Amino acid sequence: MVRIVKKPFERRSEIVEAARVLFQKKGGERITLQGVMDCLGIAKGTIYHYFKSKEELLEAVAEEIVNRHLEKMVAFLEKMEGNALEKMRVLIESGRKLASPQILEELHKRGNEAMHTRLLAVTLMKQAPLYAKLIEKGCEEGIFQTSAPLECAEFVLSAVQFLTDLGIYPWSQEDLERRRKAIPGLIEKQLQAPAGAFHFML
């Protein structure tokens, strides 16, 4: 049999993709390095060359999921014209539409809390700079006013993610409803945006 030698980047990507598929099928708690090895037919030394632990591999899986989502959001954004507020609206709405239902469903299952937290942290880290650029553009256009666009983006994203995600905590419908009504106005104050600018989030 001819031994197939793959480039390091290709082999690493292959391992991450296999782990991502297994996560969707089994959940984070039931993924094992041995399971990934069996799936790909690779030796223990191969997988340990790229990932020292299951936790390290799951970090890579979380980053891959977010990167795929982010690429789609950027593609949406590049196709449209308009001011910063209009683009931010598209970014927020496309983010909702492009989220994978299968992955979201898996994340909300008991036992996947650690993976869910990882994914939220990576999402914040990756998406905040994209929102920060729009906030900066909005400041140049006179729509927003802030000297800390990245910090504003981080603050808003982390608050929205934590306070509205039922996978983090089983918030009551009353909690979710009062936050849903308050969040647009809070974002407007944070960015010193025109009144009603973020009412589309309702």
Query: Please, which pLDDT band fits residue 101 given cuts at 50, 70 and 90?
Result: low
Mean pLDDT value across residues 120-139: 93
Whole-prediction pTM = 0.80
Buried b (16+ CB within 10 A) or exposed e, 39-51: ebebeeeebeebb
The CATH fold assigned to 58-201 is: Tetracycline Repressor; domain 2 (1.10.357)
Would you state the pLDDT for residue 185? Answer: 96
For residues 157 and 163, what is the distance between their CA atoms, to the nearest angstrom?
A: 10
In the predicted model, what is the mean pLDDT of the chain?
86
pLDDT value of residue 172: 95
Express each pLDDT in 147-159 by its tens digit.
999 999 999 999 9
pLDDT at site 1: 40
Residue-range domain boundaries for the chain: 58-201
177-182: long-range contacts, CB 8 A cutoff, minimum separation 24: none
The label of the residue with tokens 């909005």 reads 138
Q: CA 80, CA 103: separation in Å to the nearest integer?
A: 28
